[in-house]
């Protein structure tokens, strides 16, 4: 087949930020998937709620302290998270390193709080359907916390070593920051469902 | 092909039964039930040879009740519409293929000039418009038929509770006077013409009650109670079957529906109210003793004896039922003996264990059970 | 107020009392008493003995002895103890007759006679009835026995294997023994007999086994059955005849014991009689309740299920029913109707009514006219939510549709539970205060009806139950109820369910015991805790008070945890199963840590003055 | 290396488990009719004179089979075992989920107890329950005391959550002869 | 943007400056898969993975077909005794599960994995390692299910596993656990491929391929992938609930403790109905490709077709309740679903119209792919019309769960997906292997399949109406179903013969088939612009697209871009809408880590069937695998470090 060279692409850059990256799109794809799983889990929660006369059925709702603390911490963590993203986009390696470490510390802290959250649910997963769904939703969210903390930890190792010079690592920081935004965004409605709704009905 | 291929077969033909059935072997008129849409004319008009095979004790094409009649009408509307559409599509496809077809290797490509597809675009809009109109018609028809299925619901004359179990049906006729309530298994008797409400529930898994000649199916779901409202109009014996997969013996979970005159129905009900008759002969007496002292009484009850277990069908009037083992075998002494002797060979996995009654005891037991009319 | 005035007032009071006793009409007409008094004919003056578990035919459990009183009870101490040798639930009341104490143990139902005239009360004799061991398998709620009865020089006991035995009170020899039920059908006997006019009245247990309940009168001299009245079935079996005049229309009709059941279900329909009988000699009527219908799962027995869950008034000679009131038609929650019936005369709307008081399982305290069966009042003494009240016009209880049990669906937070706001453990009534003292539970439950399969000799229940603490978080309560004011006088919250009987004395004291072994005395007016003593095991027995041969007042009680409430300890049940002991284990899963098995009689007295 | 060996070892373990699956999932519907649960191998103690006899074949056939155990669970309700033993916690009868056994906790002991009955209130179901169902019941009771493999034990049932499903509890060794509960010492009958 | 990015290095790049043979040689060295087992295990080439994906999917099709034959033989006569109820239940559950989860969806995605990068003109799929991983996970899931089945631990509650029958109380043993875990395997694989396809289509299209020039097959795969993204989480949740109910005692489906069996049905069908379209939409894309090539003109109505695809996807999520008409849901609610279910006939009607119009206006050639397309139209339209019937609540109440429905969905799925798929096999086989399939055998194949199919499934419509329910392992002789059942069995045997003929055709043609050349059909899309089979790098130079059918539009002189490195794996990223060149993205090299991670996740999933703690200890090797996978490596040329993703 004859060729007809019409354009040279050799001047194009080899990495970009945000939507021009493949990874960004991949992350968005998985956020869509997981976000929809959260939405369906929320629907399941409401569906099961309709099966009960009282909600929660015969036990106090989860205690507010740890869940509220979690909400506050997650919402506040958006600030360093956005900062991390901005630093990475500016390719400011030293500040990005600090930001990643801060986010790692916050991530570990959320896991600690989550541990205590599980202890004050006032119900076990095998007590009834109410217990099952709140343990599952909380577990699903914890899974996201754990993976994101693990992700951040690996990223921290990379960015603090020689790999940190690679601008792609900074791209990873922005993607990681985006994912954390998702984790926070998913939590707020979950908090409302698990902690506030049972008190309102 | 054996069975009810011929629609003129007596209605009591199912199940094959040595003696007369409770419903009587009536020569019912072919289409006693005429739905508002005049289903009868449809049947006559349609030259579908397969239709001869469509009547029978478990066929939606042979309605014997108001609801099944309405649904039958819906079917014929759907069938006619869809057949017409299908015909149009196939004709056009044939034309398209025949018009410029080639058997040879490809040569060149047809260019698409500006405006060339304009005519097709017009026909596409016609096509879409037509589709929308047809679908709107069908939705309306469906909705109307759906509404007509329940419009007699407030005239309920009889309530029947149907409980699906793995793998049989428990039937109860509740009564305001509880001592006149009756319980039976795998058979529903209905007075012809009476609006009936079937209350459906299940304790184990999901089942679905389906009596095609009378109505569509409705699921029996643990933790829920469903209702099916029907009017059986034509006397006869019909068959219903579980339509939701429910485990090992889903295939053998049938029930018999006997639609009879109100007088026959009342007579049947009175007979069911009586406790089991005392055994008459010595053999029957011994059979009763075998029943009470063996594993039978752990699951089955016979009213009037000390056996009152209820996890398996009540046997008080076993011998009056058309089938045993939920429609698996027609009732007769031989089948009963075979069933008791080795239920797991006939219906593997069902909950009736191999009890191993010794042959003489078995004869006595069958003699006793056969006396429970 | 001067001393003189006091003396004058006291004198006046005495005079008035004498007049009142001598001329009852005089006392009634001008001003009805402001408080209830026990039915006079059924509560003769205290002779210092305790010859029937309920103290008297009026079932007051009130001792007129006042040596031990609110002022000195803090000095109360153990006088002697006696180990029964059985470590199951001791629900019985000891009897004291003329210097001898009679103690009946749970299965194997040993009867011990203790000689109170000698120091330390040595055993005079022991009678061992040797009931069939397999009877243990049909005792729904531990192998208990609720006490012996004394009459005519004989002690009468029931045994777990459904026998009634008369024993010579002096020698301990068996006089007669009558088999009344068949354990192979699940029939057992646990109740304390009542002897009325030379007849021993007993009933059967086994409502959880699909037995058919009855109450039977035996000739006290020979043990022959005089009559037997069933709780289900045709009128001739229930002994409903021309005398039968119920107050409410809903109790009228022919053979309701058959027509309010599905066909033949009445044959296995329960309605056992294992609780208390009272007797009014004046009206010549006995009063007894009938137990729960079987099985518990109500969907298996549509209809009112007559004559279960109600109260019968019968003629003691013939057993013929006079009236009946069904407390819980078509019982949904095992609200057995066998609780004690305290016969009182009480002022009601300006006149004196002959009434009976019944703190019922369903959480209402019923005041019923004992002549007619008319319900005068039914007030909740517990936060009831399973029903919304009793219509006094029709006598009909109003079930709460939200709490209606359904097959395959757990209905949550039903209050009270299957053992009721109060089970068999009897209340006491003090004429001094006019107050009923009710030891009871504060529990709620989750309930799921399941299909019950009847197999003779095995349980026929059809419900999964899970109990837990009711509103307030405490599991028991001791309530003082004023039946005239129709309200609570005071209430003591107890952590554990209360399963012991109550005893009231003229010393303004009320005694009761707790599941973890405390024996308590509280002030009858205020409920103030005055004295307590920790016994070796949980107390589910009935305390009594008697005057010993030495003339002093004694308090006696059996300690030995068990019964339905204490089955987790007595039967070594596993608390991991919330449905164990029909759900009670879930409510008292901490009990094994708080008490252990035991079987001991404790007798208390004030320190001797010498 | 770790991550490479782990899967390999696990896959191997899995293969073994899967081979066991044939037995676990077998569904035999036609058992022995009512007869005698052979008392041949029933022992109630751990002390043997001479060599102990080999365990009877029913142990593997029933204790290692999910279908039989689940059938046993159904029959436990149907035949009112739950009326006396609740969901293993006990009621009128002793608890079955603990490891205390008056008459022995092995499969054969339990089967014998069902067939023969026991003097203190356990009814005899001789000729009332066919042998296969006796074994199924006994195997289910063994699963209550967590003495069967976890992969054949039933999960929670579709009813009130009374006790955790047999499957979600750790497997433990039952005392072969069983201990004597304190309660049976007191009544002494 | 760092300065070094804007100045190209001195490395070798494709283009006018480099000899063409040298370009190909170097590209082959860079992109090629190492020979031998190691290369086979580590490859990330979408064509190799796609090929083995297709073969694996087809093997599962054969296995599912054998199970179907067993069922038909059992039902050939009343009271048949070939298999008992227990085996039969496992067989039909395996059949449904295999066909839906292990054949239909994977093979459609496999076709996408193979074809989409070629059709959009790029060198590899996005996230090629994820692609390898998804294949291994899928393979592991399939093997697990079949090993379990052969060990008598096959699923027994049907492919939709209704609770409570599949719940802890009524499905003892591990049978349903394996089934539920198989769902997890396939959903992980499907979701991964969906994300890859979406990103490939959105970001890696050849320059100039703006969205209105995207071929219909690629469109269909894009829409399908979005459906996967939104449908699979539902089944993920449902199967997790089920397995938790079974293993750790949760109560999602226990009515006594506040759960609800219908919750399962809602969640399952919220996935299950879109699943049908997930299977069916790619087939529409295949049909469009074939029709265009065979009719020698572009498909009439590209825009209506695309809109119809999107409309179908949206509507597909709105009608799950029509599987639940017999569950007693409120009447008014279900009426809405009647309307929604019928409305989906509109986009389908548009598509049918457009294809026939294309044939009508074109010059259709009677080649085997076209035969299958004609078979598709004849069968699928009938299935679609019975689908319209089923949307009617009253009629559905009669025929729901009967053989009428069995007939309906086989008409839809075999007609709507398998016939196009066979057409696609005939159509793209030359591209994949370089050799043509035999036309003669192909016609026989089609004839047997088409006739056999109708003989097998048409009588089932009637069987359902005269009362035969689904999933019965036998039926009584008295009901007169024997004749039609025997007919159906004969039809099934004919289908089997047809499929066998196809296999023969493949085997024969692989050795002795006519050499195809780059574009044997004279088709117009980009996959035909490269050699058959395509080289490891797909295109020596990335083509530039100027129309819907670039090869037809360019009349033999395909414009291309140049300037991608030949010593490094590099792909060209373009903008989402207009496909302007945007980035040169490095593409990952082969690696073993996806396989190891897949093994680790297999151990985790299977282990969790036996003990929940496997989720904890199984995650350790998985974490190790993933870290190894994503750990950055320096590229061979130090100037531009490469991320492996």
What would the pLDDT profile of E493-550 be if each residue is shown by its tens digit?
Answer: 999 999 999 999 999 999 989 998 898 998 989 999 999 899 999 999 999 998 888 8
d(CA C164, CA C173): 14
Is position B122 within any domain? Answer: yes
With b meaning 16 or more CB within 10 Å and e meaning fewer, what string describes E165-191? Answer: bbbbbbbbbbbbbbbbbbbbbbbbbbb
Helix (H, G, I), strand (E, B) or coil at B324: strand
Total residue count of chain B as it appears in this document:
373
Per-residue confidence (pLDDT) for residue C433, from 0 to 100: 94
Per-residue confidence (pLDDT) for residue B182, from 0 to 100: 93
Helix (H, G, I), strand (E, B) or coil at A19: helix
Pairing of strands C123-127, C149-151: unpaired
Weakest-pLDDT range from A166-170, C107-111, C397-401, D79-83: A166-170
Average pLDDT over residues E149-156: 91
Q: Given a cut of 70, is residue B119 above it in pLDDT?
A: yes
C385 among known catalytic residues: no
Task: Answer positive or negative: Cα dihedral of E87, E89, E92, E97.
Answer: negative
Per-residue confidence (pLDDT) for residue C211, from 0 to 100: 93
What interface predicted TM-score (ipTM) does this complex get?
0.91
Q: Where are the beta strands (DSSP E) in B174-291?
A: 182-185, 187-191, 195-202, 207-210, 218-220, 226-231, 236-242, 254-260
Q: Which chain D residues contact residue C599 at CB under 8 A?
A: 186
Do B173 and B269 belong to one domain?
Answer: yes
Element (DSSP H or E) covering residue E584 = strand E581-586
* CA dist list (Å): B70 to B62, B191, C282, E23: 12, 20, 73, 73
**Percentage of the residues of chain E whose pLDDT score is greater than 70:** 96
Q: Which chain E residues contact residue D170 at CB under 8 A?
A: none
- The listed range with the strongest mean pLDDT (C529-533, D13-17, D106-110) is C529-533
Helix (H, G, I), strand (E, B) or coil at A164: helix
d(CA E209, CA C300): 72
Q: Do C577 and D80 touch (CB under 8 A)?
A: no
CB-nearest to E16 from A5, A11, A21 is A5
Do B185 and B126 belong to one domain?
Answer: no
Per-residue confidence (pLDDT) for residue C61, from 0 to 100: 96
Q: Given a cut of 90, is residue C398 above it in pLDDT?
A: yes
pLDDT in tens, C113-134: 999 999 999 999 999 999 999 9
Q: Which of C91, C208, C360, C374 is catalytic?
A: C208
- Token pair of C100, please? 């001898």
* CA dist list (Å): E199 to C210, E116, E190, E226: 70, 11, 14, 11
Binning pLDDT at 50, 70 and 90, where does residue D173 land?
A: low
Q: Do A53 and C446 touch (CB under 8 A)?
A: no
CA geometry: angle C33, C36, C39, nearest 5 deg: 110
Element (DSSP H or E) covering residue B226 = strand B226-231
pLDDT in tens, D36-63: 565 555 666 667 777 766 667 777 788 8
What CATH code is carried by the domain that includes residue B211?
A: 2.60.40.420
Q: Which chain B residues contact residue D132 at CB under 8 A?
A: 353-354
Residues in contact with D52: Cβ distance below 8 Å, sequence separation at least 6, in sequence order: D43
Is position B34 within any domain? Answer: no
**Percentage of the residues of chain A whose pLDDT score is greater than 70:** 99
Number of domains in chain B: 3
Place of tokens 């294997």: C161
Last residue of a domain, one of B273, B307, B332: B273
Last residue of a domain, one of B251, B273, B295: B273
Residues in contact with E638: Cβ distance below 8 Å, sequence separation at least 6, in sequence order: none
Give the residue extent of every domain in chain C.
33-113+137-605
Q: How far is C329 from chain E (nearest CA, A)?
A: 26
Per-residue confidence (pLDDT) for residue B49, from 0 to 100: 41
Q: Which domains does chain D have, with CATH numbers?
A: 34-41+56-185 (1.10.760.10)
CA geometry: angle E368, E369, E371, nearest 5 deg: 60
C208 among known catalytic residues: yes
Q: Given a cut of 80, is residue E343 above it in pLDDT?
A: yes
Do B87 and B70 belong to one domain?
Answer: yes
Q: Do the beta carbons of residue E117 and residue E175 sit within 8 Å?
A: no
More confident residue, C363 or E15: C363
Q: Is the peptide bond before B15 cis (omega within 30 degrees of 0)?
A: yes
Do B231 and B307 belong to one domain?
Answer: no
Do B192 and B220 belong to one domain?
Answer: yes
Per-residue confidence (pLDDT) for residue B274, from 0 to 100: 93
Per-residue confidence (pLDDT) for residue E5, from 0 to 100: 44
> For A129, which residue in chain C has the nearest alpha carbon?
C410
Q: Given a cut of 60, is residue E445 above it in pLDDT?
A: yes
Q: Given a cut of 90, is residue E643 above it in pLDDT?
A: no
Element (DSSP H or E) covering residue E550 = helix E550-554
Q: How far is D51 from chain E (nearest CA, A)?
A: 35
More confident residue, B27 or E454: E454
Average pLDDT over residues B160-174: 95
Helix (H, G, I), strand (E, B) or coil at A35: helix
**Mean pLDDT across chain E:** 91
Q: Given a cut of 80, is residue A15 above it in pLDDT?
A: no
Q: Which chain D residues contact residue E170 at CB under 8 A?
A: 158
Q: Given a cut of 60, is residue E429 above it in pLDDT?
A: yes
Last residue of a domain, one of B250, B273, B296: B273
Q: How far is D181 from chain E (nearest CA, A)?
A: 30
Instruction: List, in sequence order, every residue forming a beta bridge with B259; answer none if it has no partner.
Output: B190, B236
Q: How far is D185 from chain C (nearest CA, A)?
A: 9
Q: Do the beta carbons of residue C448 and residue C495 sit within 8 Å?
A: no
**Percentage of the residues of chain C whose pLDDT score is greater than 70:** 94
Size of interface A-D (CB pairs under 8 A): 7
pLDDT in tens, C501-516: 999 999 999 999 999 9
pLDDT in tens, A85-120: 888 888 888 888 899 999 999 999 999 999 999 999
- Comparing CA positions, the residue from A166, A138, A142, A156 lying closest to residue A41 is A138
Q: Which of C109, C145, C204, C292 is catalytic?
A: C292
> For D158, which residue in chain A has the nearest alpha carbon?
A128
Helix (H, G, I), strand (E, B) or coil at C549: coil
Residues in contact with E443: Cβ distance below 8 Å, sequence separation at least 6, in sequence order: E368, E371
Assigned CATH topology for domain C33-113+137-605:
Methanol Dehydrogenase; Chain A (2.140.10)
Binning pLDDT at 50, 70 and 90, where does residue E312 land?
A: very high
From the centroid of its chain, how far is CA E39?
25
- Comparing CA positions, the residue from E421, E485, E403 lying closest to residue E99 is E421
Q: Do the beta carbons of residue C453 and residue C286 sit within 8 Å?
A: no
Per-residue confidence (pLDDT) for residue E637, from 0 to 100: 46
More confident residue, E210 or A1: E210
- E479 secondary structure, DSSP code: G
**Percentage of the residues of chain C whose pLDDT score is greater than 90:** 90
Test the E interface: residue of B7, B62, B205 with most E CBs within 10 Å: B205
d(CA D35, CA D126): 8
Domain extent at residue B239: 156-273
Q: For chain D, which residues lie within 8 Å of any Cβ of chain A, measuring from their own Cβ?
A: 156, 161, 164-165, 168
Pairing of strands C37-38, C342-348: antiparallel
Test the B interface: residue of D36, D128, D132 with most B CBs within 10 Å: D128
Do B160 and B148 belong to one domain?
Answer: no
As to burial, measured by CB atoms within 10 angstroms (0-12 exposed, 13-18 middle, 19+ buried), residue C146 is buried
Per-residue confidence (pLDDT) for residue A14, from 0 to 100: 82
- Token pair of B245, please? 């997969």
C292 among known catalytic residues: yes
Q: Do the beta carbons of residue D171 and residue D146 sit within 8 Å?
A: yes
Is position B18 within any domain? Answer: no
């Amino acid at each position: 087949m004859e060729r007809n060279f019409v354009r040279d692409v050799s001047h194009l850059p080899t990495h970009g930020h945000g939507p021009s990256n493949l990874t960004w799109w991949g992350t968005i794809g998985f956020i869509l998937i997981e976000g929809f799983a959260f939405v369906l889990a929320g629907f399941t929660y409401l569906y099961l709620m309709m099966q009960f006369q009282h909600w929660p059925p015969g036990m106090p709702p989860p205690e507010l302290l740890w869940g509220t603390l979690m909400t506050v911490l997650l919402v506040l963590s958006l600030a360093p998270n956005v900062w991390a993203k901005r630093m990475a986009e500016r390719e400011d390696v030293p500040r990005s390193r600090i930001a990643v470490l801060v986010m790692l510390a916050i991530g570990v802290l959320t896991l600690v709080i989550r541990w205590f959250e599980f202890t004050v649910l006032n119900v076990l997963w095998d007590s009834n359907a109410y217990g099952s769904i709140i343990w599952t939703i909380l577990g699903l969210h914890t899974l996201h916390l754990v993976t994101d903390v693990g992700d951040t930890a690996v990223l921290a190792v990379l960015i603090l070593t020689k790999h940190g010079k690679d601008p792609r690592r900074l791209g990873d920081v922005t993607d990681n920051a985006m994912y954390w935004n998702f984790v926070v965004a998913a939590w707020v409605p979950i908090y409302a469902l698990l902690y506030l709704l049972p008190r309102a009905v | 092909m054996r069975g009810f291929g011929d629609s003129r077969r007596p209605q009591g033909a199912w199940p094959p039964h040595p003696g007369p059935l409770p419903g009587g072997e009536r020569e019912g008129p072919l289409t006693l039930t005429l739905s508002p849409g005049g289903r009868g004319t449809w049947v006559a008009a349609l030259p579908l040879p397969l239709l001869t095979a469509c009547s029978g004790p478990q066929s939606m094409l042979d309605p014997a009740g108001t609801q099944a009649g309405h649904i039958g009408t819906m079917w014929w509307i759907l069938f006619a519409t869809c057949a017409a559409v299908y015909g149009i599509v196939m004709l056009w496809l044939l034309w398209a293929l025949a018009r410029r077809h080639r058997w040879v290797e490809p040569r060149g490509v047809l260019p698409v000039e500006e405006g060339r597809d304009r005519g097709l675009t017009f026909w596409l809009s016609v096509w879409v418009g037509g589709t929308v109109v047809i679908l709107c018609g069908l939705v309306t028809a469906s909705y109307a038929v759906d509404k007509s299925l329940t419009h007699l619901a407030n005239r309920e004359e009889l309530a029947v509770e149907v409980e699906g179990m793995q793998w049989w049906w428990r039937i109860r006729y509740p009564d305001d006077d509880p001592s006149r309530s009756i319980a039976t298994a795998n058979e529903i008797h209905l007075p012809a013409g009476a609006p009936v409400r079937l209350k459906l529930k299940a304790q184990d898994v999901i089942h679905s009650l389906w009596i095609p000649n009378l109505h569509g199916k409705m699921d029996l779901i643990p933790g829920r109670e469903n209702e099916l409202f029907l009017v059986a109009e034509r006397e006869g014996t019909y068959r219903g079957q579980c339509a939701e997969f429910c485990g090992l013996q889903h295939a053998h979970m049938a029930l018999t529906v006997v639609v009879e005159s109100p007088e026959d129905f009342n007579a049947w009900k009175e007979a069911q109210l009586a406790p089991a008759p005392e055994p008459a002969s010595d053999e029957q007496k011994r059979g009763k003793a075998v029943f009470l002292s063996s594993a039978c009484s752990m699951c089955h009850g016979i009213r009037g004896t000390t056996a009152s277990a209820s996890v398996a069908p009540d046997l008080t009037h076993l011998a009056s039922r058309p089938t045993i083992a939920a429609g698996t075998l027609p009732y007769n002494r031989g089948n009963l003996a075979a069933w008791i002797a080795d239920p797991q060979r006939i219906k593997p996995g069902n909950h009736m264990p191999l009890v191993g009654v010794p042959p003489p005891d078995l004869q006595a037991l069958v003699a006793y059970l056969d006396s429970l009319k | 107020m001067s001393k003189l005035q006091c003396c004058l007032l006291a004198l006046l009071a005495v005079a008035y009392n004498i007049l009142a006793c001598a001329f009852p009409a005089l006392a009634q007409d001008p001003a009805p008493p402001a408080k209830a008094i026990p039915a006079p004919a059924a509560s003769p003056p205290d002779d210092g003995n305790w010859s029937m578990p309920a103290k008297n035919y009026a079932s007051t459990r009130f001792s007129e002895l006042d040596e031990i009183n609110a002022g000195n009870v803090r000095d109360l101490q153990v006088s002697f103890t006696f180990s029964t040798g059985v470590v199951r639930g001791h629900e019985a009341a000891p009897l004291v007759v003329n210097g001898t104490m009679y103690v009946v143990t749970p299965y194997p139902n040993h009867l011990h006679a203790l000689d109170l005239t000698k120091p330390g009360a040595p055993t005079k004799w022991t009678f061992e009835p040797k009931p069939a061991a397999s009877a243990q398998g049909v005792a729904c709620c531990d192998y208990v026995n609720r006490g012996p009865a004394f009459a005519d020089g004989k002690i009468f006991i029931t045994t777990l294997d459904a026998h009634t035995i008369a024993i010579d009170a002096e020698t301990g020899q068996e006089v007669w023994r009558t088999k009344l039920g068949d354990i192979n059908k699940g029939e057992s006997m646990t109740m304390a007999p009542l002897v009325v006019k030379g007849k021993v009245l007993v009933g059967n247990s086994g409502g959880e086994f699909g037995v058919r309940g009855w109450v039977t009168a035996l000739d006290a001299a020979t043990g022959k059955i005089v009559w037997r009245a069933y709780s289900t079935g045709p009128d001739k079996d229930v002994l409903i005849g021309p005398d039968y005049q119920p107050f409410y229309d809903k109790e009228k009709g022919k053979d309701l014991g058959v027509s309010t059941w599905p066909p033949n279900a009445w044959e296995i329909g329960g309605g056992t009689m294992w609780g208390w009988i009272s007797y009014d000699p004046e009206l010549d009527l006995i009063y007894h309740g009938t137990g729960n219908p079987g099985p518990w799962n109500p969907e298996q027995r549509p209809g009112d299920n007559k004559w279960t869950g109600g109260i019968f008034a019968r003629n003691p000679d013939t057993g013929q029913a006079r009236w009946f009131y069904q407390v819980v038609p078509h019982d949904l929650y095992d609200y057995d109707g066998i609780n004690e019936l305290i016969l009182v005369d009480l002022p009601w709307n300006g006149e004196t009514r002959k009434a009976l008081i019944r703190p019922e399982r369903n959480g209402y305290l019923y005041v019923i006219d004992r002549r007619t069966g008319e319900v005068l009042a039914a007030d909740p003494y517990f936060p009831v939510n399973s029903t919304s009240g009793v219509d006094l016009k029709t006598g009909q209880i109003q079930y709460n549709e939200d709490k209606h049990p359904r097959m395959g669906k757990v209905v949550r937070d039903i209050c009270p539970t299957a053992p009721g706001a109060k089970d068999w453990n009897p209340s006491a009534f003090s004429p001094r205060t006019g107050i009923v003292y009710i030891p009871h539970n504060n529990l709620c439950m989750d309930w799921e009806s399941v299909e019950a399969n009847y197999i003779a000799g095995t349980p026929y229940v059809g419900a999964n139950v899970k109990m837990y603490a009711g509103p307030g978080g405490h599991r028991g309560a001791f309530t003082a109820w004023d039946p005239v004011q129709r309200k609570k006088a005071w209430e003591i919250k107890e952590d554990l369910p209360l399963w012991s009987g109550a005893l009231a004395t003229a010393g303004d004291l009320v005694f009761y015991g707790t599941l973890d072994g405390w024996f308590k005395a509280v002030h009858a007016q205020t409920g103030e805790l005055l004295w307590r003593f920790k016994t070796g095991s949980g107390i589910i027995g009935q305390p009594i008070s008697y005057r010993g041969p030495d003339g002093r007042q004694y308090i006696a009680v059996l300690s030995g945890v068990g019964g339905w409430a204490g089955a987790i300890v007595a039967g070594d049940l596993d608390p991991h199963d919330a449905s164990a002991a029909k759900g009670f284990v879930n409510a008292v899963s901490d009990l094994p840590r708080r008490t252990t098995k035991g079987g001991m009689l404790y007798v208390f007295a004030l320190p001797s003055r010498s | 290396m770790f991550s490479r060996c782990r899967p390999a070892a696990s896959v191997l373990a899995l293969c073994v488990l899967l081979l066991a699956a044939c037995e676990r999932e077998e569904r035999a519907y036609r058992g022995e009719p009512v007869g005698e649960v052979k008392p041949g191998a029933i022992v109630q103690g751990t002390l043997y004179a001479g060599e102990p006899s080999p365990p009877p074949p029913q142990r593997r056939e029933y204790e290692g089979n999910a279908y039989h155990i689940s059938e046993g669970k159904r029959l436990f309700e149907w035949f009112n075992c739950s009326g006396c033993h609740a969901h293993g916690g006990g009621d009128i009868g002793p608890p079955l989920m603990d490891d205390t056994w008056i008459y022995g906790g092995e499969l054969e002991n339990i089967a014998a107890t069902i067939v023969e009955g026991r003097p203190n209130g356990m009814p005899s179901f001789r000729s009332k329950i066919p042998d296969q169902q006796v074994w199924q019941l006994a195997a289910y009771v063994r699963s209550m005391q967590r003495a069967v493999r976890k992969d054949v034990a039933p999960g929670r049932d579709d009813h009130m959550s009374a006790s955790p499903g047999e499957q979600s509890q750790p497997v433990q060794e039952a005392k072969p002869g069983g201990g004597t509960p304190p309660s049976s010492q007191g009544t002494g009958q | 943007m760092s300065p070094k990015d804007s100045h190209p290095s001195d490395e070798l790049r494709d283009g006018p400056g480099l000899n063409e043979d040298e370009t190909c040689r170097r590209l082959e060295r860079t992109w090629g898969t190492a020979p031998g087992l190691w290369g086979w295990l580590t490859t990330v080439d979408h064509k190799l993975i796609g090929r083995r994906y297709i073969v694996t999917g087809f093997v599962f099709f054969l296995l599912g077909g054998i199970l179907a034959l067993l069922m038909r033989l059992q039902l050939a006569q009343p009271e048949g005794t070939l298999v008992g109820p227990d085996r039969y239940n496992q067989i039909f559950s395996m059949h449904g599960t295999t066909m839906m989860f292990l054949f239909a969806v994977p093979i459609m995605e496999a076709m996408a994995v193979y074809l989409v990068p070629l059709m959009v003109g790029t060198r590899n799929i996005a996230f090629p390692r994820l692609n390898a991983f998804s294949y291994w996970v899928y393979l592991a899931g399939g093997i697990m299910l079949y090993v379990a089945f052969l060990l008598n631990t096959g699923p027994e509650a049907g492919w939709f596993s209704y609770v409570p029958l599949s719940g802890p109380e009524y499905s003892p043993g591990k049978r349903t656990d394996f089934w539920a875990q198989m769902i997890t395997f396939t959903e992980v694989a499907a979701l991964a491929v969906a994300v890859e396809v979406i990103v490939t289509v959105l970001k890696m299209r050849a320059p100039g391929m703006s969205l209105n020039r995207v071929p219909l097959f690629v469109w269909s795969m894009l829409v399908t992938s979005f459906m996967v993204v939104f449908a699979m989480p539902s089944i993920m949740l449902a199967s997790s609930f089920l397995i938790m109910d079974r293993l750790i005692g949760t109560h999602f489906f226990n009515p006594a403790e506040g759960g609800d069996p219908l919750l399962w049905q809602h969640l399952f069908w919220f996935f299950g109905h879109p699943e049908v379209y997930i299977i069916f939409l790619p087939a529409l894309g295949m049909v469009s490709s074939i029709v265009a090539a065979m009719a020698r003109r572009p498909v009439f109505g590209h825009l209506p077709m695309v809109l119809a695809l999107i409309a179908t996807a949206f509507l597909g999520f709105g009608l799950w309740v029509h599987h639940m008409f017999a569950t007693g849901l409120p009447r008014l609610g279900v009426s809405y679903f009647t309307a929604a279910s019928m409305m989906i006939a509109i986009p389908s009607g548009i598509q049918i119209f457009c294809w026939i119009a294309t044939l009508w206006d074109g010059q259709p050639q009677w080649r085997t792919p076209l035969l299958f397309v004609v078979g598709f139209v004849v069968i699928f339209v009938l299935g679609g019309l019975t689908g319209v019937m089923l949307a009617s609540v009253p009629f559905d109440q009669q025929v729901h769960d009967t053989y009428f429905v069995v007939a309906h969905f086989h008409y839809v799925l075999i007609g709507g997906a398998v016939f196009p798929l066979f057409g696609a096999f005939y159509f793209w086989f030359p591209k994949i292997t370089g050799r043509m399939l035999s036309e003669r055998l192909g016609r026989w194949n089609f004839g047997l399949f088409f006739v056999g199919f109708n003989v097998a499934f048409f009588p089932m419509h009637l069987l359902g109406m005269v009362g035969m329910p689904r999933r019965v392992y036998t039926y009584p002789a008295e009901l007169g179903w024997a004749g039609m059942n025997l007919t159906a069995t004969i039809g099934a045997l004919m289908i089997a013969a047809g499929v066998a003929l196809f296999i023969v055709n493949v085997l024969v043609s692989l050795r002795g088939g006519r050499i195809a050349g780059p574009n044997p059909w004279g088709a117009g899309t980009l996959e035909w612009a490269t050699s058959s089979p395509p080289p490891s790098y797909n295109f020596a130079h990335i083509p530039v697209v100027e129309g819907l059918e670039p090869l037809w539009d360019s009349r033999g002189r395909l414009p291309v871009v140049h300037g991608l490195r030949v010593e490094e794996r590099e792909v060209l990223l373009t903008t989402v809408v207009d496909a302007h060149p945007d980035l040169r993205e490095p593409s990952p090299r082969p690696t073993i880590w996806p396989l190891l991670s897949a093994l680790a996740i297999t151990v985790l999933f299977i282990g969790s069937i036996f003990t929940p703690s496997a989720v904890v200890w199984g995650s350790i090797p998985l974490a190790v695998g993933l870290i190894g996978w994503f750990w950055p490596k320096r590229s061979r040329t130090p100037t531009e470090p490469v991320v492996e993703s």
